[in-house]
Amino acid sequence: MKRLAIALFAVAALAGCATTGKLSSSERLQLYRAHAGAPVKDFQYFGSLNGWTELGDSALAVWTKPNEAWLLNLSGPCMDLSYAPAISVTNMMGRVSAKFDRVIVRGGGPNMMRVPCRIDTIQPLDVKALRASEKELREAGIEARAEDQGGN
């Protein structure tokens, strides 16, 4: 019940942001945190990511399957994460572990020195609820734009 209240609060708080079209990284991070479970020690990694979303310079969401995602909070800012065309994640025998594994930003040329970013915490994401909240925000943005256009 508490988690539902937090998620509803986050959706309501971010609904005003949806009227501008796109959420900022910090607004997206709030939304993802509202749908994140308790921290876990590690998760199974099958060698490639199904997708990823930057959430500022110190957090990102990674999808290991279409309906399985993880919120990775990093130990500090990760250089160029917001502009990265690709990332990779270190692992040990198919498991990505908090406090041990790292996110590596890829791209930007062969001579660019990349400092790996240590994963501080891992939280499972409720993908179904997250997608529903994102849909609500999109719909709220569409309604707000329609009202703005109708009122001109």
Residues 38-59: pLDDT tens digits? Answer: 999 999 998 899 999 999 999 9
Beta-carbon-side half-sphere exposure of residue 93 (alpha carbons within 13 Å): 0
Contacts (Cβ under 8 Å, ≥6 apart) of 105:
78, 79, 80, 81, 84, 87, 114, 117
pTM of this prediction exceeds 0.75: yes
Strand stretches in the chain, DSSP E:
42-44, 51-54, 59-65, 68-74, 86-89, 95-97, 102-106, 117-125
Which pLDDT tens digit goes with each residue over 64-112? 999 999 999 999 999 888 888 999 999 999 999 999 999 999 876 665 6
Terminal CA-CA length for the chain: 41
